[in-house]
């Protein structure tokens, strides 16, 4: 894809050498809110959700998109998706709490935990949200807690590990024999039989094979195996499933050289085979679910950061900025590529190559290596693209740097949706024992 179109799909555009996000000059946002700042684009979130919704509707209307809250859990982001009619997938009781606060009804919330505690189960049951178990052993405790609370048992599913995983990095591949998630094929019948014996009557199935999948063929083997497992399960235990969940993982083009995920191919490989089987086997009309996180919000966010240091050590040139791996950990944690572009281009400037370095006191705090762009000056602003997913949610206060604010843009307007943390927040929850005072 040419660079201009690639930027345009993310609602970014240069006008007279200045970068605009939506209809707003990035320099204006940086000056108004300070840097670093996470900027989230409402229009793109709505657009990406609807692209997927139309894709699913075109093949099977009884579908639900459970946005994966872990990707970006800001209340305003959740409210945008709630207003579009999305459901959510939560990976912790905290995410369930946020989803309820954002107004999602409990029957639209699925809690896919791993290593559930009794408190997690209690919170989920008390709030009436669906639970997606990660191990047969958890079923005993879950059943006991349902009985202790005197609550009617809700729908239950197990996360099935189809042993074929995929993803942009080893840490995001979530299927395979050596992987901690889900139950393998050899335990599936036992798991659902046990659930039936415990008196559960409403069932679903689930997989999530990994994150950052940009080639839809990477789903092929896992989906083939999953479908065989589900069909065998339905036949063996005579179960009519309420839902069949295909997880998330849909990748986005972080690099202008990358082609976007081919959504038609995704539909053919992931959704269509199951839909065809449902028609042939007459096993009912379960809801088909998917759980995208990154696809919906990654391209809907940038981080604006300011250059504070230009350094040339004789071997290498560095641009020192005020965002670091405390702000965006993906480059350091996964070696991930995020495109970084200037918010203004100075006339007649030479193109030079730089490493973009954050302020964290570690050599690994490099946001971009060997990046070529027109020579900037200190105090210029840069935009780190595709930071809407796994950005703020993975941030930290390492080196005691308070977290950056979040801003939402829509058309020409911008809104603060999370205040910047301050030094006083660093000590808010601390207690000093008397003998040290």
Ligand X SMILES: Cc1ncc(COP(=O)(O)O)c(C=O)c1O
The active-site residue, picked from 26, 90, 343, 361, is: 361
> Based on CB atoms, which residue is closest to ligand X, 251 or 324?
251
Which residues are CB-neighbours of 319 under 8 A, at least 6 positions away? Answer: 307, 309, 310, 354, 355, 356, 357, 376, 382
Contact between 392 and 326 (Cβ < 8 Å): no
Cα–Cα distance, 311 to 173 (Å, whole number): 38
User: Which listed range, 67-75, 188-196, 221-229, 276-284, lies at the site for ligand X (CB under 6 A)?
Assistant: 67-75
> Based on CB atoms, which residue is closest to ligand X, 263 or 345?
263
Which residues are CB-neighbours of 221 under 8 A, at least 6 positions away? Answer: 162, 164
User: Which listed range, 22-30, 52-60, 100-108, 243-251, lies at the site for ligand X (CB under 6 A)?
Assistant: 243-251
Residue 253 interacts with ligand X (CB under 6 A): yes or no: no
Of 48, 108, 208, 289, the residue at the interface with ligand X (CB under 6 A) is 208
Of 162, 176, 249, 331, the residue at the interface with ligand X (CB under 6 A) is 249
- And the tokens for 254? 């972080």
Residue 291 interacts with ligand X (CB under 6 A): yes or no: yes
Residue 112 interacts with ligand X (CB under 6 A): yes or no: yes
CB of 342 to ligand X, least distance (A): 28
Cα–Cα distance, 401 to 328 (Å, whole number): 13
- And the tokens for 281? 């086997």
Residue 250 interacts with ligand X (CB under 6 A): yes or no: yes
* Upstream peptide bond of 36 is cis (omega within 30 degrees of 0): yes
Q: How far is CA 383 from CA 148, 230, 242, 421, in A?
A: 52, 45, 44, 21
Phi, psi (5° rounding) for residue 227? -65, -40
Cα–Cα distance, 81 to 87 (Å, whole number): 8
Of 22, 292, 358, 391, the residue at the interface with ligand X (CB under 6 A) is 292
Residue with tokens 């480059």: 331
Cα–Cα distance, 25 to 240 (Å, whole number): 53
Residue with tokens 């320099």: 27
> Based on CB atoms, which residue is closest to ligand X, 283 or 288?
288
Alpha-carbon torsion (362, 363, 367, 372), positive or negative: positive
> Based on CB atoms, which residue is closest to ligand X, 307 or 389?
389
Of 247, 286, 301, 368, the residue at the interface with ligand X (CB under 6 A) is 247
> Based on CB atoms, which residue is closest to ligand X, 48 or 294?
294
User: Which listed range, 246-254, 259-267, 336-344, 396-404, lies at the site for ligand X (CB under 6 A)?
Assistant: 246-254
CB of 295 to ligand X, least distance (A): 6
User: Under rule CB under 6 A, which residues in 351-390 are in contact with ligand X?
Assistant: 389
Of 71, 131, 230, 384, the residue at the interface with ligand X (CB under 6 A) is 71
What is the pattern of x (binds ligand X, CB under 6 A) and - over residues 82-101? -------x-x----------
Is 361 catalytic? The answer is yes
Contact between 110 and 65 (Cβ < 8 Å): no
User: Which listed range, 26-34, 35-43, 99-107, 204-212, lies at the site for ligand X (CB under 6 A)?
Assistant: 204-212
User: Which listed range, 75-83, 185-193, 287-295, 352-360, lies at the site for ligand X (CB under 6 A)?
Assistant: 287-295
> CB-side exposure of 217: number of CA atoms within 13 Å?
0
H or E segment and range at residue 218 = none
> Based on CB atoms, which residue is closest to ligand X, 188 or 296?
296
* Alpha-helix residue ranges (DSSP H) falling in 60-156: 75-84, 93-101, 118-126, 137-149
Residue 294 interacts with ligand X (CB under 6 A): yes or no: yes
> Based on CB atoms, which residue is closest to ligand X, 249 or 253?
249
Cα–Cα distance, 1 to 256 (Å, whole number): 7
CB of 35 to ligand X, least distance (A): 26
Q: How far is CA 60 from CA 64, 207, 285, 344, 346, in A?
A: 10, 19, 10, 46, 51
The residues binding ligand X (CB under 6 A) are 68, 70-71, 89, 91, 112, 208, 211-212, 247-250, 291-295, 389
Kindly list the catalytic residues.
Answer: 361
């Amino acid at each position: 894809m040419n660079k201009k179109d690639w930027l345009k799909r993310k609602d970014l555009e240069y006008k007279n050498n200045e970068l605009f996000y939506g209809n707003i000059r990035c320099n204006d946002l940086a000056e108004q809110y300070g840097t670093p700042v996470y900027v989230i684009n409402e229009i793109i979130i709505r657009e990406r959700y609807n692209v997927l919704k139309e894709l699913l509707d075109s093949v099977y209307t009884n579908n639900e998109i459970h946005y994966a809250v872990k990707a970006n859990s800001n209340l305003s982001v959740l409210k945008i998706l709630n207003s579009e009619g999305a459901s959510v997938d939560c990976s912790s009781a905290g995410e369930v709490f946020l989803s309820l606060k954002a107004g999602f009804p409990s029957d639209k919330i699925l809690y896919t935990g791993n290593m559930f505690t009794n408190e997690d189960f209690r919170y989920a049951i008390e709030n009436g949200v669906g639970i997606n178990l990660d191990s047969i052993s958890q079923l005993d405790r879950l059943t006991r807690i349902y009985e202790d609370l005197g609550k009617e048992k809700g729908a239950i599913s197990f996360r099935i590990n189809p042993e074929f995983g995929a993803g942009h990095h080893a840490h995001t591949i979530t299927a395979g024999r050596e992987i901690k998630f889900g139950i393998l094929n050899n335990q599936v019948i036992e798991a659902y039989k046990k659930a039936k014996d415990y008196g559960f009557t409403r069932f679903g199935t689930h997989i999530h094979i990994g994150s950052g999948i940009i080639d839809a063929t990477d789903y092929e083997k896992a989906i083939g195996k999953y479908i065989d497992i589900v069909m065998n399960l339905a036949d063996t235990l005579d179960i009519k499933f309420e839902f069949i969940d295909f997880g998330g993982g849909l990748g986005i083009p972080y690099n202008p050289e990358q082609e976007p995920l081919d959504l038609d191919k995704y539909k053919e490989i992931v959704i269509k085979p199951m839909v065809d089987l449902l028609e042939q086997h007459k096993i009912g009309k379960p809801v088909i679910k998917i759980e995208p996180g990154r696809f919906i919000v990654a391209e809907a966010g940038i981080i604006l950061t300011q250059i504070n240091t230009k350094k040339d050590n004789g071997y290498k040139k560095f641009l020192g900025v005020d965002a670091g791996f405390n702000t965006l950990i993906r480059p350091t944690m996964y070696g991930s590529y995020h495109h970084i572009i200037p918010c203004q281009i100075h006339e007649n400037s030479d193109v030079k190559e730089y490493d973009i370095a954050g302020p964290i006191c570690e050599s690994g705090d490099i946001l971009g290596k060997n990046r070529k762009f027109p020579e900037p000056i200190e105090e210029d602003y840069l935009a780190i693209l595709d930071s809407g997913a796994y950005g703020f949610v993975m941030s930290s206060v390492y080196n005691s740097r308070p977290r950056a604010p979040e801003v939402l843009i829509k058309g020409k307007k911008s809104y603060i949706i999370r205040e910047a943390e301050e030094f006083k927040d660093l000590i808010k929850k601390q207690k000093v024992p008397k003998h040290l005072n």
